[in-house]
Chains A and B, each alone.
Chain A
Amino acid sequence: MSILTTNHLTIRFGGLVAVEDFNIDIEKGELWAIIGPNGAGKTTVYNMITGIYPPTEGEIFVDGENMAGKKPFEFARAGVSRTFQNIRLFGGSSVLDNVKMAHTMDCGYNYWDMMLRTKKYRSEEDRITEESMALLDLFGLADKKDYFATQLPYGEQRKLEIVRALATRPKLLLLDEPAAGMSPGEIDDVMALIHRIHDEMGQTILMIEHHMKLVMGIAQKIKVLEFGRTISEGTPEYVQNDPLVIAAYLGGDPDAHA
C-alpha cells in the first residue's frame, strides 16, 4: 500500500512552470529525499502535497484517498505532516502547548464539553498532555516544556518542529531542510534523529535536504529536481553517478560523461 502517490503533478504560476510532471510513489516505511539546486521547485512540491498550493494539473493520493481540492488541514487529517524551511513554531506559546496544539484534530470533546468541563473534557485533556509529554520526553525536550518556543536554541527549535509534526501521528512526515543552518556536529545529531524516527518508530519520511552527506547517508531513495523537472531517481549510489545530476550540480555537458 503506498502512502503517497502523485500522478503528473504540475503547477504553473502564470507563465512559469514551477514543477512539471512530478511522479512519486512512497511505500510505507520508506525514507525518501528530494534534492536539487536552489529554485528547483522542491518546496513547491511540498506545498502541493500539503495542500497549500492547489496543483494546476495532476492528482495526489494520500493513503489511497484522492486529495483534489482539499485544504491543508484536510491533508493533515489524512496523514501528511510537515516541518518548514524557515521555522514556523507557535512562538507565543510554551513548548508543551506547541505539541498540544498538534492534537487539535484528534481531540474527542466538543464545545459544550469544553465550556462545562465535563468528564470527557478532563480525560481527553489528560490524554493529550500525557501523550505530548511522552513525545517531548522521547526527544529530550521534556525539561524545557515551560519555555516559550522562541526561547529555545535554533537546533532545538528544529527538533521541536519535528516533534510537533510527529504529534499529529502522520502517515507521512515531510521534513523541509531539517539541517539548514546547522554546524557539522549538529548535522550528525539531526541524522541520528531522523534515523531514530525512521527505524524505531517506523515512520515514513520524505525530506528535502541540501547537505549531501546527510542525504546520501540516510535516504533509501532519492529524487533529483532541476527547474521543476525530475532529472533522476533511484538509490543514492545511482543518483550520485548519474551524469545528469552531476551536470545539474557542477555544470557541464551531460553527454560528455556518457
Chain B
Amino acid sequence: MSLIKRNIEYPIFVLIFLVFTLLNRFGVLNDYVMQVVQLACIYIIMTESLNILNGMTGLSSLGQAGFMSVGAYVSAMITTTFINVNAMNPVMQVVMFIVVTLIGAIVACVVGVLIGMPAMRLRGDYLAIVTLGFCEVIRTIWRVVPARIAGAAFGLTGIPKLANFFWCYLFMLLAIYACRNFMDSSYGRACLAIRDNEIAADTMGINCFKHKTIAFATSAFIAGIAGSLYAHLLVYIHPDVFSYAKSSDFLVYLYAGGVGSISGAMLGALALTVLPEILRFLGNWRLVIYGMLLLIIILFRPTGMFGGREFAFLKLKTGGIKTFHFSTFTHWVKGLFRRKEKEAATAK
C-alpha cells in the first residue's frame, strides 16, 4: 500500500491501459486508432533509445533505424521461418514472443557495440555520417539475404501477430524506466559528463570509451526491442521501412520533444506520431501544418517542448533541473481561466 502511496503513477499507468483496452473492446476506439496508439508506444521506445546516444552521451547517431531493423528482422525471421508459432498454445506463443524479442535485442546490442567501437574514435558530424552509412548497409543486407529466410526485396511477410497493445505499452514503460535508471546513476552521469566536456570527463577518472560503448549497447538493445514489437505488430516488414527517413523521424521527435530529457523524448514521439493522424482530415495540407508546427516549436522553444525538464513521476535527480508536477499544469490551466474571468470583469 505504501508503495502505491509513494508511486501514485503506478495505478495511473494501469488505469490508462484499462481505459484504452475497454474503449477498444466497446468499439469507441476502432482498431485503426489502436494501431496508431501502439505505433506511438513503439516510437516512444525508439526515441528514448536515441535519447541515450544523442541526448545523454552527445554522440549523434543517424542510424537508429538500423538497430531497429536488426531487432525486427532477427526476431521476425525466427518466428516466421524457423519455428511454427501458430501451432503453439497461447502461453507458449507469449513465451516465444518474449524470447525472440530478447534475442533480437541482444543481436542489435552486439551489432551496436561492433559499430560503436570503431565509430567511437569519431566525433560529432563524422559519427553521424558513419552511423548513417551503417543504417544503409544494414538495409541493403536485408535485401540480399535469401528470400526464403528474410524475404529479400519483397519484404518479410506472414509474421505472426504476437504483439498487441499490452506488450507495446509494457515495453514502453520498461524502456522509459530503464532510461530513467540509466540516467540517474553513475553511468548516466558519466555519459552526461562526456557530452559536456570529454577532456574534463577523462581527467575526472571517467573511462570515456567504456561509457560510450555502454551507451551504444544500451541504446541498440532498446531499439532492438522496438524493432521486434514493430515487426510482430505490423506483421510485414520491408527493408525500405528502416531507411534513413525513419532514423531522421526519430531525430525530429527527439529534438521537438527536448533533447536530453526522458520526458521530452516521450512527449515528442507521442505528439508527432499522433498529430499527423489527427490532421488527416486536411488531406495533403496536413504535411504543411505538420512542418509549420515543427517550425513553431523550434522557433519558440529551441530546446524542444520539454527541454531541461522532467515529469515529476520519473523522480529523476540527474539531468532535468526543473521537474514538472501535474499540479504545475493544473495551476497553469486555472491561471488561464482566472485571466479570462478577470478580462471578462474588466470588460464589464
Contacts and interface: CB of A to CB of B under 8 A. Distances in A.
Interface of A: 50-52, 71-73, 75-77, 81-82, 84, 88-94, 97, 100-105, 107, 109, 111, 114-117, 121, 125, 128-129, 146, 148, 164-165, 168
B260 A104 contact: no
Contact of B204 (A52, A109, A116, A168): A168
A52 B186 contact: no
26 contacts: A52-B203, A73-B208, A76-B202, A76-B204, A81-B204, A81-B205, A82-B203, A88-B197, A89-B196, A89-B200, A90-B197, A91-B197, A93-B189, A93-B193, A93-B319, A100-B189, A101-B189, A101-B190, A101-B193, A101-B201, A104-B189, A107-B186, A114-B181, A114-B187, A116-B181, A121-B185
Contacts of B246: none
Pick the most buried of B185, B192, B214: most chain A CB atoms within 10 A of its CB.
Answer: B185
Given A73-B202, A76-B205, A114-B185, A104 B190 contact: yes
Where chain B touches its partner, the secondary structure class is: helix
B318 interface: yes
Interface of B: 178, 181-182, 184-187, 189-190, 192-193, 195-197, 199-208, 214, 260, 317-319, 321
B202 A92 contact: no
- Give 9 closest A-B pairs by Cβ, nearest first: A76-B205, A105-B205, A90-B196, A88-B200, A107-B186, A72-B202, A114-B185, A101-B193, A104-B190
Contacts of B206: 73, 101, 104-105
A73 B197 contact: no
Contacts of A128: 186
Contact of B199 (A88, A101, A103, A164): A88
Pick the most buried of B181, B193, B197: most chain A CB atoms within 10 A of its CB.
Answer: B193
Given A76-B202, A88-B200, A89-B200, 18 more contacts: A73-B203, A76-B203, A77-B205, A81-B204, A82-B203, A88-B199, A90-B192, A92-B195, A93-B192, A97-B189, A97-B319, A100-B186, A101-B189, A101-B190, A104-B204, A105-B204, A115-B178, A164-B204
A181 to B, nearest CB: 18
Contacts of B260: 92
Nearest to A93: B192
B181 A103 contact: no
A166 to B, nearest CB: 11
A7 B201 CA distance: 27
Contacts of B193: 90, 93, 101, 104
Given A93-B192, A101-B193, A111-B214, A84 B181 contact: no
A103 B199 CA distance: 16
B321 A94 contact: yes
Nearest to A125: B185
A121 B189 CA distance: 14
A222 B206 CA distance: 31
Contacts of B204: 73, 76, 81, 101-102, 104-105, 164-165, 168
Contacts of A73: 202-208
A152 to B, nearest CB: 13
A125 B203 CA distance: 22
Nearest to B207: A73
B181 A97 contact: no
B203 A50 contact: yes
Contacts of A121: 185
A159 B28 CA distance: 60
A92 B196 contact: yes
Contacts of A77: 205
A89 B203 CA distance: 12
A54 B139 CA distance: 41
Contacts of B317: 129
A111 B200 CA distance: 23
Contacts of A148: 321
Contacts of A117: 181
A73 B187 CA distance: 15
Pick the most buried of A81, A84, A103, A114: most chain B CB atoms within 10 A of its CB.
Answer: A114
B48 to A, nearest CB: 14
Nearest to B202: A72
A92 B260 CA distance: 10
Contacts of A75: 203
A128 B318 CA distance: 13
A234 B198 CA distance: 36
A150 B181 CA distance: 26
A52 B204 CA distance: 12
Contacts of B181: 114-117
Contacts of A51: 203
A82 B202 CA distance: 11
A196 to B, nearest CB: 22
Contacts of B200: 84, 88-90
Contacts of A91: 196-197
B186 A104 contact: yes
Given A90-B192, A97-B318, A114-B181, A71 B202 contact: yes
Contacts of A88: 197, 199-200
A81 B79 CA distance: 53
A76 B202 CA distance: 8
A92 B187 contact: no
